[in-house]
């Protein structure tokens, strides 16, 4: 008799594609442009700030459940100075173990069994797992490529709302497509949320990685959205310390306290000394953010041009660490098969976008490359990919 898997309600999630592809990279010596982490650490002075906190005995024991006051104040100031959103750091800011815990705690707190959650497909892999852990039903709304960029079909979004819809899970700037939702798109989402009395959970971990004339707009700053939005941020991508796992939510006191009710039983608290360091990081001068953007825009251009020369159709991202490509001009259709053979063929690892879809066929010919790597690494990847066509 075969027994159902022990994790039967999560069995569909298996091991992540990132583990498989990173193993493939290690085995073949391929350049890993699969997983999105920087290969250079963040600012020296912020690392020193973490060392100082450790040595001074700040954060070595359980920090306060909502996060250390210095960090909560810095997060509130950041939201006010950047976006004009005024927050009470004591009741409207909650520090989490990265955005990952912020996503989990938000969904566990706000989604009850049977609730429907609308998520933009392709979506970050933890969304589907957390919706399942909360007992919710995910309802994907597919972002579709059009004129060289991915966009949100507002009619499709509208049609996806039912009487059971509890919340819309947004991600902007969007991983993996690199789309930055526009003011018009966000205004339409806000109007729908208000009309149908929905909550919005918005993952904005790439808020500082927007390029050219793209602008990041938090939906919480739109009229009527403060009371119904949980905004998720993280230090990992902004400061190139993905291992420190310092993230946060900002929301109304009622929503913050709801999310905290789940968070307290996940990690309770985390990253004590790193919280003090990130409080300093958030107060870095504008030049830090300008340089971060300029450097990543240059890396994006380097990799995008190389991929185009190698024969891919490239969706030039307006934000994030990633560029999505279409492999059909190279005579391929199946992103999984393509990514499994790419290390042998060209010495590069990428991720098939289909893993981010419920409608796998909608994502089949798309492949994602990360450009948050050293320039020389990207140059080597580009020169290897030239031999593809
Ligand atoms: C990297 C990433 C996260 C996870 O952030 P952590 O702070 O490392 O937990 C969440 N959402 C998206 C879209 C990401 O790309």
The pLDDT of residue 1: 62
Average pLDDT over residues 301-326: 97
Average pLDDT over residues 319-333: 97
Asked if residue 171 has its Cβ within 6 Å of ligand 1, the reply is: yes
CA 50 to chain centre: 24
Q: How far apart are the CA of 205 and the centre of ligand 1, in A?
A: 6
Q: What is the pLDDT of residues 270-287, one digit of tens each?
A: 999 999 999 999 999 999
Asked if residue 274 has its Cβ within 6 Å of ligand 1, the reply is: no
CA atoms within 13 A on the CB side of 126: 14
Q: What is the pLDDT of residues 25-74, one digit of tens each?
A: 899 999 999 988 999 999 999 999 999 999 999 999 999 999 999 999 99
Q: Given CA atoms 237, 238, 244, 247 in this order, what sign does their dihedral have?
A: negative
The pLDDT of residue 324: 97
The pLDDT of residue 142: 96
Please list, residue by residue across 139-158, b when 16 or more beta carbons sit within 10 angstroms of its beta carbon and e when fewer do.
bbbbbebeeebbebebeebe
Q: How far apart are the CA of 238 and the centre of ligand 1, in A?
A: 11
Q: How far apart are the CA of 329 and the centre of ligand 1, in A?
A: 31
Comparing C-alpha atoms, which of 283, 374, 311, 358 is closest to residue 76? Answer: 283
Asked if residue 76 has its Cβ within 6 Å of ligand 1, the reply is: no
Report the nearest-CA residue for atom 15 of ligand 1: 175
Asked if residue 100 has its Cβ within 6 Å of ligand 1, the reply is: yes
Q: Are 87 and 93 spatial neighbours (Cβ–Cβ below 8 Å)?
A: yes
Probe residue for ligand 1, chosen from 67, 100, 201 as the CB with the greatest number of ligand atoms within 8 Å: 100
Asked if residue 104 has its Cβ within 6 Å of ligand 1, the reply is: no
Residue 343, pLDDT > 90, answer yes
Asked if residue 234 has its Cβ within 6 Å of ligand 1, the reply is: yes
Q: Label residue 12 by pLDDT band (50, 70, 90).
A: confident
Q: What is the pLDDT of residues 126-169, one digit of tens each?
A: 999 999 999 999 999 999 998 888 999 999 999 999 999 999 99
DSSP annotation of 3: P
CA atoms within 13 A on the CB side of 59: 24
Asked if residue 352 has its Cβ within 6 Å of ligand 1, the reply is: no
Asked if residue 172 has its Cβ within 6 Å of ligand 1, the reply is: no
């Amino acid at each position: 008799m075969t027994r159902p898997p022990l994790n039967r309600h999560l069995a569909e999630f298996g091991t992540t594609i990132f583990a498989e592809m990173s193993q493939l990279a290690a085995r073949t010596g391929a350049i890993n442009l699969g997983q999105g982490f920087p290969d250079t650490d963040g600012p020296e002075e912020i690392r020193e700030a973490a060392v100082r906190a450790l040595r001074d005995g700040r954060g070595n024991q359980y920090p306060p459940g909502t996060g250390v006051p210095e960090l909560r104040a810095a997060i509130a100031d950041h939201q006010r100075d950047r976006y004009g959103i005024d927050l009470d750091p004591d009741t409207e800011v909650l520090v989490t173990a990265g955005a990952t815990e912020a996503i989990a705690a938000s969904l566990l707190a706000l989604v009850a069994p049977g609730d429907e959650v609308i998520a933009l497909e392709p979506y970050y892999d933890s969304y589907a797992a957390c919706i399942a852990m909360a007992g919710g039903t995910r309802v994907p709304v597919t972002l579709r490529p059009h004129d060289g960029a991915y966009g949100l079909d507002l009619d499709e979004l509208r049609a996806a709302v039912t009487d059971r819809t509890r919340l819309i899970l947004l991600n902007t700037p969007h991983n993996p497509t690199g789309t930055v939702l526009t003011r018009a798109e966000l205004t339409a989402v806000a109007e729908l949320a208000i009309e149908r009395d929905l909550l919005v959970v918005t993952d904005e971990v790439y808020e500082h990685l927007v390029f050219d004339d793209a602008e990041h707009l938090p939906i919480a700053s739109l009229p009527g959205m403060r009371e119904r939005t949980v905004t998720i941020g993280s230090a990992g991508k902004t400061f190139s310390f993905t291992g420190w796992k310092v993230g946060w939510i900002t929301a109304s006191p009622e929503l913050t306290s709801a999310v905290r009710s789940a968070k307290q039983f996940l990690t309770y608290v985390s990253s004590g000394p790193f919280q003090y360091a990130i409080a300093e990081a958030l107060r870095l001068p504008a030049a830090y953010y300008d340089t971060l953007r300029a450097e990543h825009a240059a890396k994006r251009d380097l990799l995008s041009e190389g991929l185009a020369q190698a024969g891919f159709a490239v969706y030039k991202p307006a934000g994030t660490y990633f560029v999505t490509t279409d492999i059909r001009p190279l005579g391929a259709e199946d992103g999984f098969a393509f990514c499994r053979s790419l290390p042998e063929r060209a010495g590069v690892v990428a991720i098939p976008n289909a893993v981010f879809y419920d409608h796998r066929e909608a994502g089949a010919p798309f492949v994602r490359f990360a450009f948050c790597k050293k320039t020389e690494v990207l140059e080597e990847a580009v020169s290897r990919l030239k031999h593809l066509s």
